[in-house]
């Protein structure tokens, strides 16, 4: 069975994250990748970065840095 891995593209700026030398993480709400230049908060415990669309969502409450 072939496993599916999502493309590593920032959901906000649409940059290819494999080509950028920048940190990124998945949004805890929509699960899309977000680069550190576009994130609206970071959770150091999980490494997740919330996208601007979901910054106010309760599921992103730990993305404070």
Q: What is the CATH number of the domain that holds 9?
A: 3.30.40
Provide the β-strand partners of residue 49: 42
Instruction: Provide φ and ψ at 25, rounded to 5°.
Output: -155, 175
The structural domain count of the chain equals: 1
Confidence of residue 4 (pLDDT cuts 50, 70, 90): low
Q: CB of 17 within 8 A of CB of 33? A: yes
Cα atoms in the Cβ-side hemisphere of radius 13 Å centred on 8: 11
According to DSSP, the β-strands at 33-35 and 24-26 are: antiparallel
Residue-level pLDDT at 59 = 96
pTM confidence score: 0.84
The parent domain of residue 46 ranges over 1-65
Residues 10-33 have pLDDT tens digits of: 999 999 998 988 999 999 999 999
From 7-11, 40-44, 53-57, the region with the lowest mean pLDDT? 7-11
Residue-level pLDDT at 20 = 86
């Amino acid at each position: 069975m072939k496993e599916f891995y999502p493309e590593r593209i920032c959901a906000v700026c649409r940059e290819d994250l494999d080509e950028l030398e920048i940190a990124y993480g998945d949004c805890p709400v929509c699960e899309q990748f977000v680069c550190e230049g576009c994130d609206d908060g970071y959770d150091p415990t999980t490494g997740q970065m919330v996208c601007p669309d979901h910054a106010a969502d309760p599921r992103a409450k730990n993305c404070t840095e």
